[in-house]
Amino acid sequence: MDGFHDLGGRQGFGPVVRQGHADPFHGEAEIRIAAMWVRMLRHGTYNMDEYRHAIERMEPRHYVTASYYERTFTAVASLCVERGVFSAAELSAAVGFEVPLSRPSREGRVGEENLPEISVGDRVRVKDDFVPGHIRMPGYIRGKEGVVVGMSPPYPYPDAHGHGLASAWQRTFDVRFSSRHLWPDAAEESDVQVGVFHGYLVAVA
């Protein structure tokens, strides 16, 4: 989906500051949230794409003010309510306040079948697709051209997997883009490499 979560390639957030080694958790609450997330994932309450989509569905002001683990908690709580593990009222009663949950999901889509062959060295263009549901196509590469430099084994197609739809798995292709092509006159010359699902790509003659 297209939302505020898709921040890749946007300007105005300042430089990335490297802080060296940092502890993965900052308190007992974060450890518990991480354990809860893994437990429910392994239990089959949701899959990774459904989890990612639940974060995408957070109300934008909540998303930008929430910490990493608050987003994780919101996604897990929302999916548990949607799957009937407990109700929103039961959750709020247990913690003593109304817990903000992700907004309702929109429809997903099944991937295309019989996709054209793509090989390393091919020039490709990313489709300019905009969908209401889950998608793993960064906004800054839509409609852009690049060269395939590698490929990975098939994975669940996120546009369907994030909505519990059955769809054929797709391999991802490592596509190399020129930074100047992605952000004309706004970036130093460099290569940007992105893993892109087969169904998001078309070959350029």
Task: Give pLDDT tens digits for 173-195.
Answer: 999 999 999 999 888 899 999 99
Count of domains in the chain?
A: 2
pLDDT, tens digit (0-9, with 9 covering 90-100), for 70-127: 999 999 999 999 999 999 999 999 999 999 999 999 999 999 989 999 999 999 999 9
Residues 129 and 60 both lie in one domain: no
Of 69, 100, 131, the residue at which a domain comes to its end is 100
The answer to whether residues 64 and 137 belong to one domain is no
**Nearest in space to 127 (alpha carbons), one of 201, 194, 204:** 201
Closest among 140, 204, 153, 201 to 175, alpha carbons compared: 201
**Structural domain of residue 192, as residue ranges?**
123-203
Q: pLDDT digit string (tens) for 16-71?
A: 788 787 788 889 999 999 999 999 999 999 999 999 999 999 999 999 999 999 99
Q: pLDDT of 131-190, one tens digit each?
A: 999 999 999 999 999 999 999 999 999 999 999 999 999 999 999 999 999 999 888 899
Q: 73 with 148, same domain?
A: no
> In the block, which residue shows the tokens 């994030």?
162
Q: Does residue 2 sit in the same domain as residue 96?
A: yes
Task: Tell whether 94 and 127 lie within a shared domain.
Answer: no
Q: Is 90 domain-assigned?
A: yes
**Residue 118 domain flag:** no
Are 56 and 92 found together in one domain? yes
Question: For residue 155, which phi and psi values (nearest 5 degrees)?
Answer: -130, 165
Residue 110 belongs to some domain of the structure: no
- Which of 58, 72, 65 minimizes the C-alpha distance to 30? 72
Domain co-membership, 75 together with 11: yes
Q: For residue 106, tell me if it sits in a domain.
A: no
> Based on the domain organization, do 143 and 94 belong to the same domain?
no
Co-location of 9 and 87 in the same domain: yes
